[in-house]
Amino acid sequence: MLRSSGLVNKGKSSRPRLHMVLSAPRPASEQKVAPALKDVLSRAAAASKQANLKKPPRLVAVSKTKPKELVQEAYDAGQRDFGENYVQEISEKAPQLPQDIKWHFIGHLQSNKAKAVVDAVPNLTVVETVDSVKLANKLNTAVKGRDRGPLDIYVQVNTSGEESKFGVEPQDCVSLAEHVHKECDLLRFAGLMTIGQQDYTSRPEDFQCLAKCREEVCQALSLQLDDVELSMGMSGDFEQATEAGSTNIRVGSTIFGKRDYTGSKPTDANEQMTEQAEKSMQH
């Protein structure tokens, strides 16, 4: 049964941050969510079987830019793990949906937004994109005083070496994971995450790089391989990622249909200026 449910940054995304309309009518061309969800689960299970793995990966249904009604459809079909990329969007969407949803934050998170996302989403399960000591510390502080258990953290690794990508360099992965594991008492180091190349697909070398990083982290922290998730694989390559050992795949458009950015508006100017300032300091 498929489980449904990074140190100074090297790369930076040039994509504008957008605030989405969360409750818009679904376009007539929008595919049905439940059959698409079932198909992804089936394909991931088949890839897992092909690779003789113990179990299929967890599926995180990526619902960014999609209205809450589509998330509810996937929830009604049995899905429980959902991913969002933007703080404002998840902050508005999560309170309107079932509280047993396990939210994964999978977009770049500015350190000054750590408290906002933790405060707004009590059922935030994991932040998959921790790429600096500063962000880890901010998240650890944000969890203090909240009536919740430790927040799971994945360290994001830039396996492709692209300037456009956030994430620590592979050689810096161990030190950041060690910081989270030993210095952040309210965070739980739970895995590693990587994003594909410009076309959001990954080469086998990228998957192999993340797996090697896991081996090094486990050796340094005396952890078992099964204790550390590998979050890799998206709509264009989740089957290949599964065969390469991914335990957590992030699939959006294949389930919810192509993203429509009409009706979107940029986030406020202060947020954009803050992000630009952070980027300039990271060069």
Q: CB–CB of 220/212 below 8 Å? A: no
Give residue for tokens 């376009």.
27
Hey, CA dihedral for 62, 65, 67, 68, is it positive or negative?
A: positive
Summarised one tens digit per residue, pLDDT across range 30-51 is: 459 999 999 999 999 999 999 9
Q: Residues 150-195: pLDDT tens digits?
A: 999 999 999 988 888 899 999 999 999 999 999 999 999 999 999 9
d(CA 86, CA 58): 21
Name the residue with tokens 């007539």: 28
Q: Which CATH superfamily is domain 27-282 in?
A: Alanine racemase (3.20.20.10)
Domain locations in the chain as residue ranges: 27-282
Tokens of 133: 């000591």
d(CA 57, CA 163): 29
User: Which H helix or E strand runs over 136?
Assistant: helix 133-143
pLDDT at residue number 24: 41
Q: How many CB atoms lie within 10 A of CB 128?
A: 27
